[in-house]
Amino acid sequence: MKPSVLRAWPILGVAVLSFGIASSAQAQDTTRSRDTTRARTTVRSSQQRIPISKRESRGEVDLNRMRADSIARADSIARARMEQARLDSIAAVERRRADSVAAAEKARADSIAAVEKARADSVAAVERARADSIARADAIARAEQERRAAMSNRYLFNGSGWYLGVAGGRSSPMDDFDTIGYETGFNLTVPIGWHKPNYLFGVRFDFGFDKFDTEPVAALASDSDPRVLSAAANLTMRLPLGSNRFALYGVGGGGIYNFSGYGTGSPLSGFLGNDILDNNDENDEKSITKFGANFGAGIEVGFGPAAIFLESRWVNVFANRDEDVDLDEFIGSTAKHLRWMPLVLGISFR
Between 109-113, 138-142, 197-201, 221-225, the lowest mean confidence (pLDDT) is in: 221-225
61, part of any domain? no
197, part of any domain? yes
Q: How far apart are CA 49 and CA 43, in angstroms?
A: 7
246, part of any domain? yes
Q: What pLDDT, on the 0 to 100 scale, is given for residue 67?
A: 83
* 251 and 233 Cβ atoms separated by less than 8 Å: no
209, part of any domain? yes
Going by C-alpha positions, the residue among 296, 305, 313, 294 that lies closest to residue 347 is 305
Sorting pLDDT into bands at 50, 70 and 90, what band is 200?
A: very high
Could you tell me which residue, 181 or 330, shows the higher pLDDT?
181
Q: What pLDDT, on the 0 to 100 scale, is given for residue 45?
A: 43
Q: Please name every residue paired with 180 in a beta bridge, in sequence order, or none if there are none.
A: none
Distances (CA, A) of 271 to 48, 160, 165, 254, 336: 185, 44, 33, 20, 8
- Say whether both 143 and 163 belong to one domain: no
Q: What pLDDT, on the 0 to 100 scale, is given for residue 216?
A: 66
Domain that holds residue 40: 3-52
Could you tell me which residue, 2 or 96, shows the higher pLDDT?
96
Q: How far apart are CA 55 and CA 177, in angstroms?
A: 179
- Say whether both 164 and 140 belong to one domain: no
Q: What pLDDT, on the 0 to 100 scale, is given for residue 55?
A: 52
Q: What pLDDT, on the 0 to 100 scale, is given for residue 144?
A: 84
58, part of any domain? no
Sorting pLDDT into bands at 50, 70 and 90, what band is 41?
A: very low
pLDDT tens profile 289-342: 999 999 999 999 988 788 999 999 999 999 875 554 455 554 545 567 899 999
- Say whether both 124 and 273 belong to one domain: no
328, part of any domain? yes
The percentage of the chain sitting over the pLDDT mark of 90, rounded to a whole number, equals 31
Sorting pLDDT into bands at 50, 70 and 90, what band is 5?
A: very low
- Say whether both 25 and 98 belong to one domain: no
Rg (CA), the chain: 72
- Say whether both 120 and 228 belong to one domain: no
- Say whether both 175 and 299 belong to one domain: yes
* 294 and 313 Cβ atoms separated by less than 8 Å: yes
306: CATH: 2.40.160.20
Q: What pLDDT, on the 0 to 100 scale, is given for residue 146?
A: 79
pLDDT tens profile 253-266: 999 999 998 877 77
Could you tell me which residue, 181 or 211, shows the higher pLDDT?
211
Q: What pLDDT, on the 0 to 100 scale, is given for residue 317?
A: 94
Q: What is the full DSSP assignment across 41-79?
A: HHHHHTT------HHHHHHHHHHHHHHHHHHHHHHHHHH
Model-wide pTM > 0.95: no
- Say whether both 228 and 176 belong to one domain: yes
Q: Given 134, 154, 174, which residue is the final one in a domain?
A: 154
Q: How far apart are CA 18 and CA 214, in angstroms?
A: 195
Sorting pLDDT into bands at 50, 70 and 90, what band is 279?
A: low
Q: Please name every residue paired with 294 in a beta bridge, in sequence order, or none if there are none.
A: 253, 315
- Say whether both 84 and 178 belong to one domain: no
Q: What pLDDT, on the 0 to 100 scale, is given for residue 46?
A: 43
Q: How many CB atoms lie within 10 A of CB 254?
A: 14
- Summarize the chain as % helix, strand, coil (round to 5): 45, 35, 20
Q: What pLDDT, on the 0 to 100 scale, is given for residue 324?
A: 47
14, part of any domain? yes
Q: Given 96, 131, 154, which residue is the final one in a domain?
A: 154
Sorting pLDDT into bands at 50, 70 and 90, what band is 194?
A: very high
User: Running DSSP on this structure, what letter comes out for residue 276?
Assistant: T
- Say whether both 21 and 123 belong to one domain: no
75, part of any domain? yes
Could you tell me which residue, 139 or 43, shows the higher pLDDT?
139
Amino acid at 205: F
- Say whether both 169 and 127 belong to one domain: no
Q: Distance from first CA to last CA of the chain, Å, rounded?
A: 165
Could you tell me which residue, 117 or 34, shows the higher pLDDT?
117
Cα atoms in the 13 Å half-sphere on the side-chain side of 63: 6
- Say whether both 137 and 164 belong to one domain: no
Q: How far apart are CA 299 and CA 294, in angstroms?
A: 17
pLDDT tens profile 62-75: 788 888 888 888 88
- Say whether both 136 and 168 belong to one domain: no
Residue 239 has pLDDT above 80, yes or no: yes
- When divided into structural domains, the chain yields a total of 3
Residue 159 has pLDDT above 80, yes or no: no
Q: How far apart are CA 152 and CA 305, in angstroms?
A: 9
Q: Given 154, 177, 204, which residue is the final one in a domain?
A: 154
Mean local confidence (pLDDT), 147-161? 71
Could you tell me which residue, 190 or 213, shows the higher pLDDT?
190
Over the chain, what is the mean pLDDT?
79
